[in-house]
Amino acid sequence: MDYHFQWAEMFSGEPARWMWEGFVTTMQISTISLSCAMILGIIICVMRMTPFKPLQWFSLAFTEFFRNTPLLVQIFFWYNASQFVIPDAINNWMNDLYYWFPGPFTAFGHEFVGEWMLFNVELITGIIALTVYTSAFIAEEIRAGIFSIPKNQLEASRAVGLSFLQGYRYVILPQALRIVIPPLISQALNLIKNSSLCMVIGVGEIMYQATQIESYHAIPFEAFSVALLIYLMISLCVSFCITMYNKHFMVQVMY
């Protein structure tokens, strides 16, 4: 097979612009989803630990359901089927939402002008799916961190006059979050990689743009190679953060 590589085309003009837009969208959807998943995960974890039984049952059902169903199915559910269970006001808001930050901006030595950061129904749907899916795993990671803390610390916080929620807020959660930071960073890495599944509903992230480049410019090897390298660089950066944190944490424990 006589294949002529065209790397120069990949880093100039339309392919470069599309790939940059995909990278921006991937980081955008990953950052927002991770922030929301952390908040929701902490809430679900606290509900699981509360002595109020209905909240325990709800949080248990939440984590078991979303951890044991495929993310791809959840993405299709939120995009196609959720309109039948979500209030009309929210559905109308999502359908009408279309926001962008126009250029110009510079990348790869070229200036690009256009709509490069979009908030639309596809992006919002992807954020919801990634948030709910990842929050179930984060809740379990935090719960494991809470179990590693002696129970008498919560009892001591209650003895000095703190309520149940105050004890978790000021005593338990700060310690648990520090312990589970490495697995939480791993969950962040998984979320970034899982964001590639959002291409199936039309979110213009890295894999979607690589597919577009392959279709319109017939350079599949170059397009998907660059996509792989981008994901690899993101993963290596996250892995480096995990390594540095572990070294720092071990030094703190020793002293």
Domains of the chain (ranges, CATH numbers): 26-107+114-254 (1.10.3720.10)
User: What is the mean predicted confidence (pLDDT) over 241-250?
Assistant: 70
Would the pLDDT of 35 be above 60? Answer: yes
Predicted pLDDT of residue 112: 45
When the pLDDT of each residue in the chain is averaged and rounded to a whole number, the result is 80
How many angstroms separate the CA atoms of 202 and 140, rounded? Answer: 31
Q: Where are the alpha helices (DSSP H) in 50-120?
A: 53-67, 71-76, 88-96
Would the pLDDT of 106 be above 80? Answer: no
Would the pLDDT of 242 be above 80? Answer: no
Torsions phi, psi of 61, nearest 5? -60, -40
Predicted pLDDT of residue 97: 58
Of 2-6, 30-34, 58-62, 229-233, minimum mean pLDDT range: 2-6
Helix (H) or strand (E) holding 111: strand 110-112
Distance of CA 249 to the CA centre of its chain: 25
Which residue has better confidence, 225 or 13? 225
Answer for the pair 15, 217: CB distance below 8 angstroms, yes or no: yes
How many angstroms separate the CA atoms of 137 and 101, rounded? Answer: 33
Kindly state the percentage of the chain with pLDDT values over 90: 30
Predicted pLDDT of residue 107: 44
Predicted pLDDT of residue 52: 83
Of 37-41, 54-58, 85-89, 152-156, minimum mean pLDDT range: 85-89
Buried b (16+ CB within 10 A) or exposed e, 232-246: eebeeebeeebeeee
How many angstroms separate the CA atoms of 137 and 87, rounded? Answer: 27
Predicted pLDDT of residue 101: 47
Work out the pLDDT band at 105, boundaries 50, 70, 90: very low
| Closest to 132 (Cα-Cα) out of 220, 41, 241 | 41
Collapsed DSSP state (helix, strand, coil) of residue 151: coil
How many angstroms separate the CA atoms of 104 and 219, rounded? Answer: 26
Predicted pLDDT of residue 16: 87
**Residues recorded for the chain:** 255
Predicted pLDDT of residue 93: 66
Tens of pLDDT along 158-215?
787 777 778 877 888 788 877 888 788 888 899 999 999 999 988 888 999 999 988 8
Would the pLDDT of 114 be above 60? Answer: no
109: left (phi over 0), alpha (psi -120 to 50) or beta: left
Which residue has better confidence, 83 or 146? 146
User: What is the mean predicted confidence (pLDDT) over 89-102?
Assistant: 60
DSSP per-residue string spanning 126-191: HHHHHHHHHHHHHHHHHHHHHHTS-THHHHHHHHTT--HHHHIIIIIHHHHHHHTHHHHHHHHHHH
Collapsed DSSP state (helix, strand, coil) of residue 219: coil
Tens of pLDDT along 121-134?
788 889 999 999 99
Would the pLDDT of 254 be above 80? Answer: no
User: What is the mean predicted confidence (pLDDT) over 75-97?
Assistant: 74
How many angstroms separate the CA atoms of 130 and 127, rounded? Answer: 5
Which residue has better confidence, 193 or 150? 193
| Closest to 211 (Cα-Cα) out of 228, 199, 197, 201 | 199
How many angstroms separate the CA atoms of 184 and 146, rounded? Answer: 14
Q: Which amino acid is at 38?
A: M
| Strand pairing category for 115-119 and 99-102 | antiparallel
Predicted pLDDT of residue 206: 92
DSSP 86: S
How many angstroms separate the CA atoms of 238 and 233, rounded? Answer: 9
Which residue has better confidence, 87 or 107? 87
Q: Identify the residue whose tokens are 């979320």.
A: 191
